[in-house]
Amino acid sequence: MIVTVTPNTALDVTYTVDSLVPDGVHRARDVRRRAGGKGVNVARVLHALGADVGAIATAGGATGAAVAAELGVAGLAAELVTIAGETRRTTTVLSAVDGSVTLINEPGPVLSGPEWTALAERVRRREPDVLVCSGSLPPGAPEDGYAQLIAGTTAVLDTSGPALLAGLAGRPAVVKPNAEELREVTGLDDPVAAAGELRRAGARAVVVSLGSEGLLAVTDAGVWLATPSTVLSGNSTGAGDAVVAALALGLSRREPWPDILRRAVALSGAAVLGPLAGDVDLAHYHRELGLVAVRARPEQE
């Protein structure tokens, strides 16, 4: 089983407007609310693919109750750790005229020591084939919280900043920063060199999201660049989570890296076409799977 962990769960609220104008008053065409946080989104994608997946997340207050109810409606197998604080909300504003996406993330409630311990114990009891740790650590969580969770497991780590650097001590199988997150934690502009820094610090492989240019993977087995057959427009907020879902699925099946990357790029595009983070256009995914180009490249070009 693949298990996703979301310490900083959210209720995602998505507004679609005609266009987003600074200082303007906007009337939403559509409003959608669903349980979110990056690990929850990853679990949704895996569930849509028919994978054996479970989600571990936090929930508190009335917003946490809404998260729990929505997860039940969605049919996701979820274990929720009750916390005293109110679960955060994230707000996405999608402009219909140009496809631009504006995202506002609340910081999340403070986790107490016992609440973090309860979350960690849930993870240890599951003994997953692949563990996915995604998103920000909430206030109150230990900075090396992800390292604690992933030590001794086959894990995919998708976070940024200090949480990413501290998480490397747990020796994750894969970390998945985007290009800006990678530059931020290493100070290097060359993504291959920067990925090498993360690997020396503990990551066994680094997969870098390059936006519309695809994915760069730096691994023990080689360096690959995977590119989509076409550039898509839509809601990009769940594209990275779809990549993480593909990485976890590939690791659980022990697939070779080129196959993992083809699925990751195809799923990422399918997520851009989905209306909400965690949704994927399965028809596009199956079409694109055979069209993604994967080429080996030297570590220095």
Q: Which positions are annotated as active-site residues?
A: 241
Distance CA 168, CA 7 (A): 17
Q: How many C-beta atoms surround the C-beta of residue 32 within 10 A?
A: 14
C-alpha dist (Å) from residue 116 to 53, 61, 77, 142, 145: 22, 17, 21, 8, 9
Sheet order of strands, 2-6 included: 78-82, 53-59, 2-6, 130-134, 155-158, 174-175, 206-209, 215-219, 222-227, 293-296
**Contacts of 267 by beta carbon, 8 Å cutoff, 6+ apart:** 45, 242, 243, 245, 246, 280, 285
Mapped to the 3 state alphabet, what secondary structure does 56-101 carry? EEEECHHHHHHHHHHHHHHCCCEEEEECCCCCEEEEEEEECCCCCE
Taking each helix axis as running N to C, give the angle between helix 191-200 and helix 179-186, from 0 to 180 degrees, rounded to the nearest 10: 60
Are 199 and 221 in contact by the 8 Å Cβ rule? The answer is: no
Residues 81/59, Cβ–Cβ less than 8 Å:
yes
